Amino acid sequence: MKDTDNLLNQLKNSQDLESLSSYLSTIETEYPDSISEYLKSILKERQLSMADVIKKSRIERTYCYQIFNGRKKPGRDKLLAIALALNLSFEETQRLLEIANEGVLYARSKRDSILIYSLNHKMSVLDTNFLLNQYSELELR
């Protein structure tokens, strides 16, 4: 996967509509723009099952399936619970939040700082909620 700077350079260097079309086809295949596509690609890449995600995320089974099938648009907390369940990196989590048009994690926010720490330390949803509670912050809902 190319980093954003490389993609931007490729786009800036597009001289004609053919090179623009080539660029657009690249990003369409490499960078899913829906929550369900992104999550499904991670499940496939990491060879995880929905049962694992449901158990680790602590999200109700039907609702979790609806998120992965694109029928429900989850809120930020549900996405963060899924990110923790999938052991997403900070960067992958930021991308998930961007795709969902939810606020990305912000290091100047106390709650977000705890969530960033949890992601970086591959903590579970339960442990993250305990940590949030310990610092008088709202648990993931």
Structure tokens at 60: 């109700």
**How big is the chain, counted in residues?**
141
In this prediction, residue 6 has a pLDDT band, given cuts at 50, 70 and 90, of: confident
The CATH class for the domain spanning 35-134 reads mainly alpha
Structure tokens at 132: 């949030």
Domain boundaries, given as residue ranges, for the chain: 1-31, 35-134
Tens-place pLDDT, residues 49-66: 999 999 999 999 999 999
In this prediction, residue 23 has a pLDDT band, given cuts at 50, 70 and 90, of: confident
* pTM for this model (two decimals): 0.81
Say if residue 30's pLDDT is above 80.
no
Tens-place pLDDT, residues 58-110: 999 999 999 999 999 999 999 999 999 999 999 999 999 999 999 999 999 99
Cα–Cα dist 31/90, whole Å: 17
Structure tokens at 128: 């993250």
Q: Which has more pLDDT, 57 or 14? A: 57
Closest C-alpha among 112, 48, 117 to residue 85: 48
